[in-house]
Structure 1
Amino acid sequence: MKKSKFLGALIGAAFSATLALSAMQAQAAATIVILNMNAAGEGFNDPTPAAPVGGNPGTTLGQQRLNAFQAAADIWGATLTSSQTITIRASFEPLTCTASSAVLGSAGAWNIWRDFAGAGKPNTWYPQALANKLSGTNLSAGDPVDGQDIRARFNSRLGLFADCLPGSPFYLGLDNNHGPLIDLVSVLLHEFGHGLGFQTFTSGATGAQFDGRPSIWDHYIYDDTANMLWVNMTDAQRATSSLNTGKLTWSGAGVTAKVPEVLSLGTPALTISGPAAGTAAGPYNIGTASFGPPLSSPGVSGTLMPVVDTGTSTGLACTPLSAANALAVNGRIALVDRGTCTFAVKAKNVQNAGAIGVIVVNNAVGSAPGLGGADPTVTIPAISVSLADGNLLKAALSKRTRTSSGVTALLGVNAGQYAGADTAGRARLFAPNPFQSGSSVSHFDTIAFPNLIMEPAINGDLLHSVVLPTDLTFELLKDIGW
């Protein structure tokens, strides 16, 4: 039996002197203990008065935060089965943020173990909570510092200060009625999922295995192009595979069997055609939106026209469209650029100008991003394409007239493929290019529909569930031993 500190090696020293002030337990199929690591007056102990909201009866900001943690622990505790207590050391503290973006929080396995009694696969790293379950013992017993299974940190400043995503605080209600706010319970379900084992300990950036040995995940990550599992690849092959957008999948039998019960049949697709399309003609990898109608069959088809509202020939569509741009997109599909304002604002502005759909071009090298946000008044479909693909489309549109381009865009679905799975029915994993540290590989793909709790972004339509028929997260955890 071998133990190694994983997250502990990264963040343990910063919290070694923090006092655990309280503990809460969720009694169910598994016992989950939330240890409050905040000092008096901070985080969970913040005395700022707060009115009860959405079934959360707390009367201070700190108590409401702790209640939300408890609610997420209750959901996971009722889902898992383990004779061993799962301990989560948690704190709210200032994390990285700006006026336009912020780190919401993070969580992960504190220790990882291999070759313990009950391990399903030899010479393979398991997260501590799962290793404890499989061994039937607390592998860190007698070690009070390392006695935690998961370490969780969340942003105490989110939405409460002008330099930290102002106006977008965590919604602390327990009823999922969060509106445009960030639902803390959904974020917690996601982050606790990572700590329970929804992550590989192998570096996707370099392909190097931790201590030269595979994670339990590596036995199930499958590359459709190489036709190989990660456990059988070289470091270089894994690094290449982590960038294989749309072709990196989960081969576990449990998830694959349940894909038809959760994901919608019909994977989102963009197809470009028309007499002026030239080399831009063909299918595209796309990102989908958490707002607006889902893509469907036969889809929305129309002439593609760009919005141009800046001196750099980009079209941000962050304000109501000019008369010329409105004339160009009316009754057509609008091509706009990412940046400055939210995706939903862009979609609403082109919708108000008469557009029947919108394609957002990424503003940085990499894969097509998912379009987060919420606006129930957006009724046109919205998708995204990569910067490279967007430039290809713009080149095809360069000889357009004011009202015609000769380029046709079809926003629809491939009816024979599940949204979020490959053609063999395996669930797709998130594999953008370039690699996104903290997001790549250890998430489901953003193309999944309905949205899943373990996608790299928290979508506004998520339910407080990790199980069938709404989610595949627990099915994946069962594949690795839960």
Structure 2
Amino acid sequence: MNKPFNRKRALALLGLSLGCAFSAQAVKIKIVNADLPGVGFNDTTPVAPVGGNEGTTLGAQRMNVYLNVAKKWAKHLPEGGPDILVNADWPALTCSSTSATLGSAGANSVWRDFPNAPYPGTWYSSALANTLAGADLDEGTEPEINSHFNVNLGQPGCLDGTSFYLGLDGNAPSNTVNFAVVLMHEVGHGLGFQALTSGSSGARISDGVNAYPAQWERWMYDNTAGKTWLDMTDAERKASAVNPRNLVWVGANVTASVPAVLKKGTPELLVKSTENPAIVGTYQVGAASFGPTLATRIKAPIGRVIDQADGKTGLACNPLTGDNAALVAGRIALVDRGTCAFTIKVKNAQDAGAVGVIVADNTAGGPPAGMSGTDATITIPSVRITLDDGAKLKAVLTGDVRMSDNVKGILHVNKDQYAGADAQGRALLYTPNPYQSGSSVSHYDTIAFRNLLMEPAINSDLPVYRVTPPKDLTLPLLQDIGW
């Protein structure tokens, strides 16, 4: 047995107090309060009861939510395993006025070649390793999971004005973040929803002599490379971690559950051209939150807007006139991201007669994100594509009407493909380019719908405490790795 990998904790574990244990027959999850006096779970600020949470201080209400989540998670875990200790505290995590890291969690240690290990020479998160072994491998000397939550959330400079909702009923107001959902997510990571093998370098965890694969590797399959991470080199795994929407989970439990959880309908842009076969194909898109959906299929030539002095850029931040207006009328307008809001670009194209809009990104990377904004007067669909895909189209579409008529675009929803899965029905993992530390690889892709608990960002429509089909795919993945 080996345990060379310990995650550093934010605060020293001194003067710890244990929370209540739950579930006499299932595995017990115990919350370890690692906060200093007056901080986090020990915050004595008086509060009124909310949503079934009867705690009278801010710290007590926070702990009540965690204890409730521990109880919910314990019901899904195998009976008879050793206790799972979850170290928990409230440090200052990364945030700005418009975004914030709500929390983070992961295994405190990893183990291999323990009694009953399903595969030799393979790393397992400590909570899972203990359960498979039927014993606490470090004899109770360390917590199995470390978890941290943003103590500054809602304060100036940290997602201003947005606080955690501490009710137990799931009825979080629109200006809050449901703490119970965040906890369900983070405990999921601690239980093993975590790649362990480095996505940023592709390197495996070493015991000081040799490096060994993690259990996740055998279920991570790259459609481009045609192999799993288990069969890749470090360099191949590094490349796979930034291969947008091409890394899938091939575990049997998740794959079998995809049809029950995800909805059919993946937004796409299809491009056809008889004179330019290099641009023909299916393009990944980010759909707009405004205007109509892509449920109604739009097919038309693509007309490129060029309205800037450089003769290369089309921002569409002002009403389109002259050649630009003529070129987009009855067509799908191709414009560039930048300078003004997405809604302004789309509305200007719509006013010029466009039947749809494609916004080419102005920064590298992928997959293409969605487009936010509000304008009830927009009646045409719009999507966003990557910088590279935009450059590919713009190399052909130079503003010439004849060439535009030869390049046809189809904006639609592919009803044969589940939203969040590949064409074979295998769930997509999150692999944005560039790599996002703490998010890449160890989450489901953001294109999933219905929205999933283990996506990298919280969604307001997530049902509280749900980790199983037909509501979610969290537990099936944990079962694939050995739970």
What SS class does the counterpart of residue 35 from structure 1 fall into?
strand
Distance 2:63 2:319 in 1: 51
Q: Give 1:35 deviation, angstroms.
A: 1.6
Counterpart AA for 1:166: D
What SS class does the counterpart of residue 428 from structure 1 fall into?
coil
1:421 corresponding residue in structure 2: 421
What SS class does the counterpart of residue 257 from structure 1 fall into?
helix
Figure out how many residues of one structure are paired with residues of the other and give that number: 464
- Alignment of 1:192 onto 2:187: yes
What SS class does the counterpart of residue 427 from structure 1 fall into?
coil
User: Structure 2 vs 1, CA of residues 461 and 316 (structure 1 numbering), >3 Å: closer, same or farther?
Assistant: farther
- Alignment of 1:472 onto 2:467: no
2:297 corresponding residue in structure 1: 299
- Alignment of 1:78 onto 2:75: yes
2:283 corresponding residue in structure 1: 284
Mark the runs of 5 or more structure 2 residues left unpaired by the alignment. none
Distance 2:176 2:356 in 1: 26
Distance 2:314 2:113 in 1: 56
User: Structure 2 vs 1, CA of residues 131 and 337 (structure 1 numbering), >3 Å: closer, same or farther?
Assistant: farther
- Alignment of 1:149 onto 2:148: no
1:125 corresponding residue in structure 2: 123
1:221 corresponding residue in structure 2: 220
Counterpart AA for 1:20: L
Aligned equivalent of 1:23, options 16, 19, 24: 19
1:183 corresponding residue in structure 2: 178
What SS class does the counterpart of residue 438 from structure 2 fall into?
coil
Distance 1:56 1:391 in 2: 54
CA contact (8 A) 2:197 2:205 kept: yes
2:105 corresponding residue in structure 1: 107
User: Structure 2 vs 1, CA of residues 90 and 384 (structure 1 numbering), >3 Å: closer, same or farther?
Assistant: farther
User: Structure 2 vs 1, CA of residues 187 and 230 (structure 1 numbering), >3 Å: closer, same or farther?
Assistant: same
User: Structure 2 vs 1, CA of residues 357 and 462 (structure 1 numbering), >3 Å: closer, same or farther?
Assistant: farther
Q: Give 1:106 deviation, angstroms.
A: 0.6
Counterpart AA for 1:197: G
CA contact (8 A) 2:273 2:408 kept: yes
Q: Give 1:23 deviation, angstroms.
A: 1.5
State the TM-score, normalized to the length of structure 1: 0.82
Q: Give 1:42 deviation, angstroms.
A: 1.2
1:430 corresponding residue in structure 2: 430
Distance 2:309 2:14 in 1: 53
1:45 corresponding residue in structure 2: 42
User: Structure 2 vs 1, CA of residues 421 and 53 (structure 1 numbering), >3 Å: closer, same or farther?
Assistant: same
Distance 1:473 1:102 in 2: 23
2:88 corresponding residue in structure 1: 90
User: Structure 2 vs 1, CA of residues 80 and 101 (structure 1 numbering), >3 Å: closer, same or farther?
Assistant: same
2:240 corresponding residue in structure 1: 241
Mark the runs of 5 or more structure 1 residues left unpaired by the alignment. none
Q: Give 1:357 deviation, angstroms.
A: 5.9
Larger Rg: 2
Q: Give 1:217 deviation, angstroms.
A: 0.5
Distance 1:54 1:376 in 2: 34
Q: Deviations over 1:249-284 (max 9, x none)?
A: 111111111111111223321223579999655321
User: Structure 2 vs 1, CA of residues 309 and 238 (structure 1 numbering), >3 Å: closer, same or farther?
Assistant: same
What SS class does the counterpart of residue 434 from structure 2 fall into?
coil
- Alignment of 1:441 onto 2:441: yes
CA contact (8 A) 2:443 2:455 kept: yes
Counterpart AA for 2:107: A
Q: Deviations over 1:55-88 (max 9, x none)?
A: 4344433233223323332331222224222211
Distance 2:60 2:187 in 1: 19
- Alignment of 1:61 onto 2:58: yes
2:163 corresponding residue in structure 1: 169
- Alignment of 1:210 onto 2:196: no
What SS class does the counterpart of residue 32 from structure 2 fall into?
strand
Q: Give 1:202 deviation, angstroms.
A: 1.1
CA contact (8 A) 2:303 2:334 kept: yes
Counterpart AA for 2:284: N
Q: Give 1:131 deviation, angstroms.
A: 0.7
What SS class does the counterpart of residue 75 from structure 2 fall into?
helix
Distance 2:233 2:6 in 1: 22
Counterpart AA for 1:284: Y
User: Structure 2 vs 1, CA of residues 69 and 306 (structure 1 numbering), >3 Å: closer, same or farther?
Assistant: farther
Counterpart AA for 1:101: S
What SS class does the counterpart of residue 182 from structure 2 fall into?
helix
Q: Give 1:350 deviation, angstroms.
A: 4.5
2:269 corresponding residue in structure 1: 270
Counterpart AA for 1:99: S
Counterpart AA for 1:86: I
Q: Give 1:122 deviation, angstroms.
A: 0.7
What SS class does the counterpart of residue 200 from structure 1 fall into?
coil
Distance 1:304 1:346 in 2: 18
What SS class does the counterpart of residue 3 from structure 1 fall into?
coil
CA contact (8 A) 1:99 1:166 kept: yes
CA contact (8 A) 1:451 1:461 kept: yes
Distance 1:106 1:291 in 2: 32
Distance 1:316 1:150 in 2: 48
1:33 corresponding residue in structure 2: 30
Q: Give 1:179 deviation, angstroms.
A: 2.2
CA contact (8 A) 2:220 2:248 kept: yes
User: Structure 2 vs 1, CA of residues 33 and 226 (structure 1 numbering), >3 Å: closer, same or farther?
Assistant: same
What SS class does the counterpart of residue 185 from structure 1 fall into?
helix
